[in-house]
Chains A and B, each alone.
Chain A
Amino acid sequence: MTLLDHVPSEAQRRRSAYRHRQTVHSVVVAACSTAALGTLLVVAVTGAPGWDRVRQSFLDPEIARDALPAVLSGLWLNVRLLVCCAVGALLLGLVIAVLRTLRGPVFFPVRALAAGYTYTFRGLPLIIVLYLLTLGVPGLRLQGMPPVLVLGGAALVLTYGGYLAEVFRAGIESVHPSQLAAARSLGLTYRQTMRHVVLPQAVRRVAPPLLNDVVALQKDVGLVSLAGPIDAVRAAQIATAQSFNYTPYVVAGVLFVLLAIPLIAVTDWVTLRAARRQSGG
């Protein structure tokens, strides 16, 4: 950074001008090559012999308009489910990861249970968990049975909690033992050390992979429709069956991508920041 009253030397001015010319040059080259590639793609796709057929059955604007309300209301279900399940799975994962770090014979059963949980639910396909919970549990005919949607959400939380617990655990183990020694030497208890020293560093370090799993969860929440509730993909499927046209799937696909963009952008930003912090210190 140059201070206000600093007059750059002749050499510095020449360097700045050169860098400026280089930047302009790069932008022009990038624009040209993008335009060329884009034209090539459009020509290749629209010039293909089957293009008209494909356009009719996948990109029909009228059908898209008709299907949109149903797909959107399905998407609303996806969004609500994503928020609840993401929060639930993150909390569950964190708790399991912390339980697995407890030492001492008293905690043996807790540790064993937590370890058993992560092994089981990371191995079990999500669809099976979903079926077991949404079809099997109501079969018990217990009083006050929660609705299918809640059971489906629980299946997602249980499955993703297992993955996230391992991500958290990796983060906890990446905190150097000298940090623990420093905290304990100050008289902090194990719990205080975890809460104020280990977990903040661990979570910061694994924030990118955690968010990545949330992006994956976003695509999997739709699977609850296997048990009845209508999500965006299921709504598109129904609309497709009515119109004998695949356009509703494209509509749902585009909406999903639009929904994912902010989440992915946040993930990239967090990753970049984490990388910067690490190289900075």
Chain B
Amino acid sequence: MELLRCRGLRKEFAGQVVLDQLDLTVSEHQVVALIGASGSGKSTLLRCVNLLEELDDGTIELDGEDISDPRVDPDRVRRRIGMVFQAYNLFPHLSVLENVTLAPRRVHRRARAEAEAQARELLDRVGLGARADAYPDRLSGGQQQRVAIVRALANSPRLMLLDEVTSALDPELVGEVLAMIRDLKADGMTMVLATHEMSFAREVADQVCFLDQGRVVESGPPEQVLGEPTQPRTRQFLHRIIEAGRL
């Protein structure tokens, strides 16, 4: 079943075209990896899907509903989508537990005890139960990012958008975050992730999309896009990555 369908997306910033006639379809339980050079529009695409940016053209459907319709309440849409940012964006004035329970309590109007029990369970599952009362600035980057993922999961989203969630991390902390994403996939979570970790994309993605100048230039199973790319620009990009030793 199709969960997300983007058609003909266009986004401009100050006359610069950042997304250009972009199409993307994501089925339920599928993991799609977005790859591409810096500035190719990966973050912008994810922000558009989460309605954090206004589209200049095209439509986005979530569960068959046109969410790019201006009459749709964006807050209601965002509740069904979890987003995780490169820089974690945890709320520094709230403890880990409060970060995770904020949306369940304020958005879903759950009772505090219930929200906290659920949050503790989620935190326990990723080994952060002991840090529930700590403030974000006392956590390592990897721990902060895992809290950010838990915070998004606490909304029970249908779709997770992950924007380069490991690129602000020290290499030895990347593994713990990737392990968490692997578990999410095993649980059947539908995910779109922008990433520079090619080996991880190859391992976890069902479909890899190569973006270049705001267009999907090539997409398909990871073995094909990363192994035998047909488009010259994909080959060029992968070649540079290999030279940089990241594949």
In whole Å, how far is B140's beta carbon from the nearest beta carbon of chain A? 13
Are A179 and B85 in contact, CB atoms less than 8 angstroms apart? no
Contacting chain B: which of A64-72, A111-119, A183-191, A256-264?
A183-191
Tell whether, in the assembled complex, residue A187 and residue B78 are in contact, meaning their CB atoms are under 8 Å apart. yes
Which residues of chain A in 179-224 are interfacial with respect to chain B, using CB atoms and an 8 Å cutoff? 179, 181-189, 192, 196-197, 200-201, 204
- CB contacts (< 8 Å) of A201 on chain B: these are 91-93
Distance A181 CA – B137 CA, assembled complex (angstroms): 19
Kindly list chain B residues whose C-beta atoms are within 8 Å of the C-beta of A197. Answer: 91, 102
Dominant secondary structure of chain B at its interface with chain A: mixed
In the bound complex, CA of A204 to CA of B81 (Å): 30
Does A178 lie within 8 Å of B89, measured CB to CB?
Answer: yes
Q: Does A281 contact B (CB under 8 A)?
A: yes
**B107 CB-CB contact with A under 8 Å:** yes
Q: Contact between B137 and A186 (Cβ–Cβ < 8 Å)? A: no
Task: From B90, B106, B107, name the one whose CB has the most chain A CB atoms within 10 angstroms.
Answer: B106
Q: How far is the CB of A153 from chain B (nearest CB, A)?
A: 33
Min CB distance B172 to A, Å, is 21
A196 to B107, CA, bound (A): 12
Q: How far is the CB of B25 from chain A (nearest CB, A)?
A: 22
Number of contact residues on A: which range applies? Answer: 10 to 19
* CA gap between A181 and B103 in the complex, in Å: 14
**A16-61 contacts to B (CB < 8 Å):** none
A280: Cβ under 8 A from any B Cβ = yes
Within the complex, the shortest CB–CB distance from A49 to chain B, in Å, comes to 60
Across the interface, do B93 and A185 meet the contact criterion of CB distance under 8 Å? Answer: no
Contact of A187 among B75, B92, B136 (CB under 8 A): B75
A185-B50 in contact given A178-B85, A179-B91, A200-B93 (Cβ < 8 Å) = yes
Chain A stretch 262-281: residues in CB contact (< 8 A) with chain B = 280-281
- Which residues of B sit under 8 angstroms from A189, Cβ to Cβ? 75
- Main secondary structure, interface of A, reads helix
Flag whether B177 is at the interface (Cβ < 8 A).
Answer: no
Q: Write the nearest CB–CB distance from B136 to chain A, whole angstroms.
A: 7
Bound: A254/B46 CA distance, A: 63
Interchain Cβ contacts within 8 Å, total number:
65
Say whether B91 contacts A281, CB under 8 Å: no
B72 at the A interface (CB under 8 A): no
Check A184 against B85 for contact (C-beta < 8 Å): no
For residue B152, CB closer than 8 A to chain A, the reply is yes
B151 to chain A: closest residue by CB = A186
Q: Is the CB of A186 within 8 A of B89?
A: no
Check B155–A187 contact: CB distance below 8 A.
Answer: yes
- Chain A residue contacts of B106, Cβ below 8 A: 188, 192, 196
| Bound: A192/B93 CA distance, A | 15
Shortest Cβ distance from B73 into A: residue: A189
A281 to B76, CA, bound (A): 33
Assembled-state Cα–Cα distance A162/B128 (Å): 45
Determine whether B79 belongs to the interface, using a CB cutoff of 8 Å to chain A. Answer: yes
Residues on the B chain within 8 Å of A182, using CB: 83, 85, 89-91
Is there an interface contact between A178 and B87, defined as CB atoms closer than 8 Å? Answer: yes
A-B contact pairs, 19 of them (CB 8 A): A178-B89, A181-B85, A182-B85, A182-B89, A183-B102, A184-B52, A184-B74, A184-B78, A185-B78, A185-B81, A186-B151, A186-B155, A187-B107, A188-B75, A188-B102, A189-B75, A192-B106, A281-B92, A281-B136
Instruction: Give the interface of B toward A (CB within 8 A).
Output: 47, 50, 52, 74-76, 78-79, 81-83, 85, 87, 89-93, 102-103, 106-107, 135-138, 151-152, 155
